[in-house]
Chains A and B, each alone.
Chain A
Amino acid sequence: MSSLSRDDVAKLAGLARIEMTEAELVELASQFGMILDAVARVQEVDLTGVKATSHPQPMENIARPDVVAPSLSPEDALSGAPAQEESRFRVPQILGEAE
């Protein structure tokens, strides 16, 4: 039986940049064992020598000529911005005070 503790979930939530409430952490930790047991079934198969597939179609790099084409105007690009200033996205401070 797999399990993750409340602290394990809190660490993952931190990595995923989701500030979860205590109730959410506890709920998720309680569900995780069951979900991990179910997905861990992929380890029951002998996969020696089997290649991994990341994508269903054969992929190749696609390039186009480097020519200027119409794109979003600054007004359009900023149209959904939560905050803007001088035709730019305004964001909170990136470096914390302690650093």
Chain B
Amino acid sequence: MIRKSAAEMADALAQGETSSAELTQAHLDQISAVDGQVKAFLHVDAQGALAQAKNVDEKRKSGEKLSPLAGIPLALKDVLAQRDVPTTAGSKILEGWRPPYDSTVVSKLKEAGIVILGKTNMDEFAMGSSTENSGYGPTFNPWDLARTPGGSSGGSAAAVSAFEAPIAIGSDTGGSIRQPAALTGIVGVRPTYGAVSRFGLIAYSSSLDQAGPFGRTVLDTALLHEVMAGHDPKDATSINAPVPAVVQAAKSGDVKGMKIGVIKQLQGEGYQKGVQTRFDESLQVLASLGAEIVEVDCPSFEFALAAYYLIAPSECSSNLARFDAMRYGLRTGDVNGASAEAVMSATRDAGFGREVKRRIILGTYALSSGYYDAYYGSAQKIRTLIIQDYAKAFTQADVLVSPTAPTTAYKIGEKVDDPMAMYLGDVATIPVNLAGICGMSLPAGLAQEDNLPVGFQIMAPAMQDQRLYQAGAALEAALLSKWGAPILSKAPVLAGSK
């Protein structure tokens, strides 16, 4: 049962073939069996999950009309506040904190009857691309436990690919949903900026952060997207417009006559051979389905990584000032006579990890007087050029495509002492965040040299998220018939797995 899609599980629930309590228990059993190896979860809320499952089962018995994903278990990235459940954002500075409120995303999940199994591991405050920057140790890639699952939403991605949950939620500031989806062989979507409320999403870089769905199929991802998205008065950047028809698009899956633009700057040199091969093959599949493939030029993308690593640290240096040891979270050094400032400084040294400190210091530097215009100011102008490149490209194509990440999953520890090498892994995902548009990663097969999953990235204009699902579902169906079985059936079976 745990290997089925969420849509199939939902059908089984509707037909009365199983109950949500049974389904939830099956996933809790899988977590007990394999999470010692994968370490996707920071906290498993078995009691809360089973209570919600029983509640949904009772409602179903009494004939109440339920939402499509009611009773389906889910893994939640630990960056989203959930009332009374430990929420750490992967940081020691929040160890033991239990939020007194629900984020809007969590409220929506609860209303839809979705069962939250627990909170998943992540790079501290979502700063990282491998989940190795977590204050609680790394998550391991179910495809090869010596490798990272990507990040920062590595726990959520690993949970879905290890069948610990059929669907999960992540957040994507520079690629933190799409890149781990690519590295673990699943589907991940970063919705348009402002499509999903950021209320209760612990902020890293407010103009780039966006929560989004993971699933093992394009349709499952769409079903969750529909639950999460929508206007929220509690978030001033939330878009007040109807949610795009993503589920309908995922069900129709058609690219006939669609113009698909290949971004010249996001392929070739620097991309692993097997990644490029699978990408090219997917393009041929799309062409055979009736899509028209064109090449588009986005010259400013060359500078996207540099702009991102100024904008995001600048915003984080401001956002993380809230961790001041006064109102919640860790406090150290509060000895007799110590000043508030000394306590704050000692607490932030003890509570923040290396990468978080690195980014706060970099942001403090980029925003300091005398350097502001040269660094942060220039980065903001590059951002304008990237938006213009996309605007032009979308006059030539309906969706744009690229490999999601330049390489397949790398070894734990391989890049941890080389921040620039780690940052380069985000080169293809970052432009979407800077422009505030939407993007999807879906499996394109395995790289021939290492048998690890490769991600295919699709990008669409703001609030045209349905185009991702329309193109993604068509490619997914064609690749499935070519492979004969879903990509995760080729992953090694974890010891003890159900």
Contact = CB atoms under 8 A, between A and B. Distances in A.
B233 A64 contact: yes
A33 B479 CA distance: 45
B375 A42 contact: yes
Nearest to A13: B361
Given A92-B334, A94-B340, A38 B420 contact: yes
A44 to B, nearest CB: 7
Contacts of B378: 42-43, 45, 47
B375 A18 contact: no
A79 B300 CA distance: 48
Given A39-B306, A44-B303, A52-B377, A57 B358 contact: no
Interface string B303-320: 101110110000001000
A40 interface: yes
Contacts, number: 178
Nearest to A54: B380
B242 interface: no
A51 B384 CA distance: 7
A55 B210 CA distance: 13
Contact of A28 (B309, B342, B357): B357
Interface string B327-344: 111110010011111111
Given A52-B380, A77-B100, A79-B98, A16 B364 contact: yes
A76 B434 CA distance: 36
Contacts of B98: 79-80
B387 A56 contact: yes
Contacts of B377: 52
Contacts of A95: 339
Interface in A46-99: 47, 50-57, 59, 62, 64, 72, 76-77, 79-83, 89, 91-97
Contact of A76 (B100, B303, B365): B100
Given A15-B364, A18-B352, A62 B236 contact: yes
Contact of B331 (A17, A50, A52, A83): A83
A19 B380 contact: no
Interface in B371-421: 374-375, 377-385, 387, 419-420
Contacts of A5: none
Main secondary structure of the interface of A (DSSP, over half): loop
Interface residues of B, number: 73
B343 A92 contact: yes
B303 A56 contact: no
A82 B326 CA distance: 7
A26 interface: no
B277 interface: no
A53 B383 contact: yes
A95 B341 CA distance: 9
A53 B387 CA distance: 9
A18 B348 contact: yes
Contact of A38 (B306, B345, B361): B306
Nearest to B374: A43
B271 interface: no
A89 to B, nearest CB: 6
B303 A31 contact: no
Interface of A: 4, 9, 12-21, 24, 28, 31-32, 34-36, 38-45, 47, 50-57, 59, 62, 64, 72, 76-77, 79-83, 89, 91-97
Interface of B: 97-101, 193-194, 207, 233, 236-237, 239, 300, 303, 305-307, 309-310, 317, 321, 324-331, 334, 337-346, 348-349, 352, 354, 357-358, 360-362, 364-366, 368, 374-375, 377-385, 387, 419-420, 423, 434-437, 462
Q: 9 shortest A-B CB distances, which residue pairs?
A: A56-B436, A80-B328, A82-B331, A76-B100, A52-B380, A19-B345, A41-B306, A42-B378, A53-B383
29 contacts: A14-B345, A17-B341, A18-B349, A18-B360, A18-B361, A19-B348, A24-B354, A28-B361, A31-B419, A34-B419, A39-B310, A39-B375, A42-B310, A43-B374, A45-B303, A50-B385, A52-B384, A53-B380, A56-B193, A56-B194, A56-B207, A56-B434, A72-B101, A80-B98, A82-B326, A82-B330, A83-B331, A83-B334, A93-B340
